[in-house]
Amino acid sequence: MTKAGISLDIPGFGSRHITTILTDYTGTLSCGGQLSAGVGELLCKLAECVDIQVITADTYGFVENELKSLPVTIRRLTGDDIEGQKQAHGNRVNLQHCVVLGNGNNDRLLLKATKEAGGIAIAVDNGEGCATDAFLNSNVFIAGAMNALKLLLVRKGLVATLRF
């Protein structure tokens, strides 16, 4: 089933049609490995119109348990070069039609590629900080997973932030 996606028309920034959310988990949707309160409900609402993929090194080891009942695809990364694995995953989707959420150094290349492809790169501090390189390679920085996801549900905030 093809989902409708999210359409945005941002003056000076351009029109975007988002079909996929690629998101980190640790420090982006969670704090201390625990999914932040209310985030699950927002992910369910967003999953009605876009595909949601969680790509994470899962530092605390809780991602499968925390997201098991949610309509998301989880890709848990292992080994070295997590940053490269995230970027490779991004290369397999059309980043022009993606929103990418991340907070760590290992998210910076995926955020940068998304921004350069014409997608929307959002750096998130969900209580564990946001790496400077993640911040510098994003279109938007926002505090809190709830606030980041609300940007996609209540689109005027995103429009107000990105318009020229």
Render pLDDT for 51-81 as a digit per residue (tens, 0 to 9). Answer: 999 999 999 999 999 999 999 999 999 998 9
Q: Contact at 8 Å (CB) between 30 and 1?
A: no
Give domain status of residue 109, yes or no.
yes
Other Cβ atoms within 10 Å of 5 Cβ, number: 15
- DSSP H helices in 22-144: 39-47, 63-67, 82-91, 108-117, 132-136
Render pLDDT for 117-157 as a digit per residue (tens, 0 to 9). Answer: 999 999 999 999 999 999 999 999 999 999 999 999 998 88
Number of domains comprising the chain: 1
Give domain status of residue 37, yes or no.
yes
> What is the reported pLDDT for 2?
78
Q: Residue 40 is part of a domain; what is its CATH number?
A: 3.40.50.1000
Cα angle 51-52-54, degrees, rounded to a multiple of 5: 150
- Strand 6-10 and strand 14-18: pairing? antiparallel
Question: What are the structure tokens assigned to 130, written together?
Answer: 């946001």
Q: Which domain holds residue 146?
A: 20-158
Give domain status of residue 52, yes or no.
yes
Give domain status of residue 14, yes or no.
no
> What is the reported pLDDT for 21?
97
Q: Looking at the predicted structure, is the pLDDT value of residue 116 above 80?
A: yes
Mean per-residue pLDDT for 88-99? 94
Give domain status of residue 76, yes or no.
yes
pTM (predicted TM-score): 0.95
Other Cβ atoms within 10 Å of 103 Cβ, number: 31
Give domain status of residue 50, yes or no.
yes
